[in-house]
A and B are shown apart, each in its own frame.
Chain A
Amino acid sequence: MEWFANLFGSYWPAVEITGWTLIKIVLIVAPLMGAVAYLTLAERKVIGYMQVRIGPNRVGYFGLLQPVADGLKLLFKEIILPTASNKTLFLLGPVLAIAPAFAAWAVIPFDMNMVLANVDAGLLYILAMTSVAVYGVIIAGWASNSKYAFLGALRSAAQIVSYEIAMGFALVGVLMCANSLNLGKIVMGQAGGFWHWYFLPLFPLFIVYFISAVAETNRAPFDVAEGESEIVAGFHVEYSGMAFAVFFLAEYANMILVSMLAALMFLGGWLSPVPFIPDSFLWLLAKVSFLLFFFLWFRATFPRYRYDQIMRLGWKVFIPITIVWIVFVGGMMQTPWAYLFH
């Protein structure tokens, strides 16, 4: 350490901070990639059991090496650039899809002081990053120069812009209760056990948030952007090999991200539901896994929404519900029952 400090001289403090930040980033991204890989296996297993099948069980014990095999297969495949495509944007699409999906993790707190960047406007930052994620889909769809890809991109853009509003309004309720945009403070505002978690006073907002989150990540039953039966594979129909895999990674990383946000903002994050068990990162992990299971469950259960029904649900059902509940919460805060909403 001393030797390094002498090597860089007066630049050492800057180098030290940069180095530590890079190490922390790796410590977040590497387990995230692992979680993404095993989420795909979990999805196939869960849906398999729901459909009375076994799911992948050939590669490794219980199919545990299946994600590795899939990853290697995709790595060795050729990335085909369609001749009529816009090459630069075609390759930019996957990058723009995955970059915000990872960048949003910068402000996620994992435990009391385990956070990469304790940003005061953390919630806003996450909203900004998730809204930027749509560019990957739009650019990929347009640059492919293919009808199916373009239709998928248009559907996705309209859907994400619509559900972002309901999602944002649902989060407004949370920040009204927590009096802060800082994710750590939002979690600490729910301290005191199960009955203090925000999902109870904000139950309609929690439901709206979670369904909007499913729509935002383009997951079934809102997966019209891919819609195999109508538009082949939607925006990534022309992608192969790793370029396709990057879209896949982004989708699953976003699923974990929105589940993490739901756990932090409505389910008390790393806080323990009962006073006699200590708070721990494991609680957060359990809550996120519980919510992720719903994503898989939805996919095995619900048929795909029709496009006009998606728009109706977003604009005519969710947005009015959230606005009414925000006004209700604001009104209740002026009454003697205000303690219920803190």
Chain B
Amino acid sequence: MTFFGLHFQDIVFYALAAILLFAALSVITTRNPVYAALYLVLAFFTAAGIWLLLEAEFLAIALVLVYVGAVMVLFLFVVMMLDINLDKLREGFWNALPIALPVGGLMAVEMVMIVGVRNFGADKVLAPPAHPADYSNTAELGRVLYTDYLLPFELASVVLLVAIVAAIALTLRDRKDSKSMNPAKQVLVKKEDRLRIIKMASVTESTSVEKTNTEANKETK
């Protein structure tokens, strides 16, 4: 089925690609860091859409789940709490330009050399083979991960674990000034530990009121 000579998939691809490029450019051009983070969310979403077109639904959903649902939430969390002075951020622009320009140019050249036009095109990258309806992307991915790529997969998970332990070890310090509590002890607290009932003779109000009245009477006399 074609619309104006374009396949439906092509139309979806170009629409998603246009949004992706716009969002990615906006991430670096917009001045408000909260907007930048939200544009990055949009970029992840459209990238997930393009992966869906490639029939990689597991990866597409995982991208949304991990990057949009967890990573970017924490990004936003931090960015929202920063009080950023935009004028100060732009102050050093012209001073940094002579160094930044060659570095940026070098990076662009490197990227073009790897993902340049020579390596792309319909003849270089073949379309993914069509799968039968009962083909499970998820099951296939799991099979490949736990058989063919078991060692790299386990190594990657160990590296991640080390990173987690390191992050906790770096930030966890025993602060003397912060009060911490022990929930187990809190639960065990009895009434007697906190509450003291004192028995004392009652003080009637009438006697004191009468006294003040008589005093007041004396003064007026």
Contacts and interface: CB of A to CB of B under 8 A. Distances in A.
Interface of A: 10-11, 13-14, 89, 119-121, 124-125, 127-128, 131-132, 134-135, 138-139, 142, 150, 153-154, 157-158, 160-161, 164, 181, 309, 312
A315 to B, nearest CB: 11
A128 B44 CA distance: 13
A153 B68 CA distance: 17
B34 interface: yes
B80 A150 contact: yes
B68 A132 contact: yes
Given A121-B138, A124-B58, A157 B73 contact: yes
A147 B1 CA distance: 54
B65 A120 contact: no
Interface of B: 1, 8, 34, 38, 41, 57-58, 61-62, 64-65, 68-70, 73-74, 76-77, 80-81, 136-138, 183
B74 A161 contact: yes
Nearest to A88: B35
A11 B61 CA distance: 30
Contacts, number: 71
A33 B221 CA distance: 79
Contacts of B38: 89, 139
B1 A128 contact: no
Contacts of A150: 80
Nearest to A122: B61
A157 B76 contact: yes
19 contacts: A13-B1, A14-B8, A89-B38, A120-B136, A121-B58, A121-B137, A121-B138, A124-B62, A124-B65, A128-B64, A131-B65, A142-B80, A153-B80, A154-B80, A154-B81, A157-B76, A158-B77, A160-B73, A164-B70
Given A11-B1, A142-B80, A161 B73 contact: yes
Contact of B64 (A120, A132, A153, A181): A132
A125 B61 contact: yes
A93 B8 CA distance: 32
Nearest to B65: A128
B61 A121 contact: yes
Nearest to B41: A135
A121 B52 CA distance: 12
Contact of A120 (B57, B73, B81): B57
Given A128-B64, A157-B76, A157-B77, A120 B41 contact: no
A93 to B, nearest CB: 11
B80 A138 contact: yes
List 9 tightest A-B contacts by C-beta distance, closest first: A131-B69, A128-B65, A128-B64, A124-B61, A142-B80, A120-B136, A128-B61, A121-B138, A157-B77
A162 to B, nearest CB: 11
A245 B83 CA distance: 31
Contacts of A181: 138
Contact of A309 (B62, B138, B183): B183
A157 B138 CA distance: 29
A228 to B, nearest CB: 23
B193 to A, nearest CB: 20
B69 to A, nearest CB: 3
A224 to B, nearest CB: 16
A138 B41 CA distance: 13
Contacts of B62: 124, 128
Contacts of A132: 64, 68-69
B161 to A, nearest CB: 13
Contact of B77 (A14, A127, A154): A154
B183 A312 contact: yes
Given A89-B34, A121-B137, A181-B138, 13 more contacts: A11-B1, A14-B8, A124-B62, A127-B69, A131-B69, A131-B73, A132-B68, A132-B69, A135-B41, A138-B77, A142-B34, A154-B81, A161-B73
